[in-house]
Amino acid sequence: TQLLEQSPQFLSIQEGENLTVYCNSSSVFSSLQWYRQEPGEGPVLLVTVVTGGEVKKLKRLTFQFGDARKDSSLHITAAQPGDTGLYLCAGAYGNDMRFGAGTRLTVKP
Amino acid sequence: GAVVSQHPSWVICKSGTSVKIECRSLDFQATTMFWYRQFPKQSLMLMATSNEGSKATYEQGVEKDKFLINHASLTLSTLTVTSAHPEDSSFYICSAVQGAGNTIYFGEGSWLTVV
């Protein structure tokens, strides 16, 4: 059951543009992960955030965990065609794990 | 990071036969593993939660008698698609939960084609 709301579900932009993907829930996460999946492959872990208000940067990607630990965002600066893929968030609720439906990003050259 | 391996990476089987897919956590123990199904250009669909030493928990609409899950050890879970039909053709992915940090690591996925 997908209890994490991810938006937008689809995003198509031009190379060089910025974008933000959101992951929201009514419940509090103990931790949250962001993954990127390319066609025909399994998702690859990008980052784990644990502390409310935490911000992590991975080159052009900036991940933020909400102060209340109910939401998170992924911001990509100056997107490149290589950023194309399915971005997934997954949240931990105690011993349970939930994930979003994913955001399919296409960056056109 | 931790490694989760799936085998086989692709398999073709005849309609009516059964096929087994393995999911192994190579460098950590996982009491919980997940199985997903993914159709082209769609997101992951959680099929079931596999718990070591106990029965799997299936998501609504997933036939437990058709998709048999066995989590025999802390490093291995298997998914058996029984009496496979062409509509079962899909990309199947597993993931494993590592440690108290509850980080999920995914396998590479297995392509199943039923002819």
Higher pLDDT, B102 or A6: A6
Q: Take residue B34 and report the two structure tokens written for it.
A: 């997940």
Q: Model confidence at B101, in pLDDT bands (50, 70, 90)?
A: low
Question: Cβ distance A102 to A6 under 8 Å?
Answer: yes
Partner A, chain B 34-53, Cβ-Cβ below 8 Å: 34, 41, 43-44, 46
Residues B66, B72, B74, B80, CA torsion sign: negative
Buried b (16+ CB within 10 A) or exposed e, A35-65: bbbeeebbbebbbbbbeeebeeeeeebbbbb
pLDDT higher than 70, residue A95: no
B54 touches chain A (CB under 8 A): no
Q: Inspect the interface and report whether the beta carbons of B102 and A31 lie closer than 8 Å.
A: yes
Q: What is the pLDDT of residue B40?
A: 81
pLDDT digits 0-9 by tens, A12-68: 999 999 999 999 998 888 889 999 998 888 899 999 999 999 999 999 999 999 999
User: Residues B1-42: pLDDT tens digits?
Assistant: 679 999 999 999 999 999 999 999 999 998 889 999 998 877
Closest CA of chain A from B69, distance in Å = 18
Which pLDDT band, with edges at 50, 70 and 90, does A1 fall under? Answer: very low
**Are A48 and B103 a contacting pair at CB < 8 A?**
yes
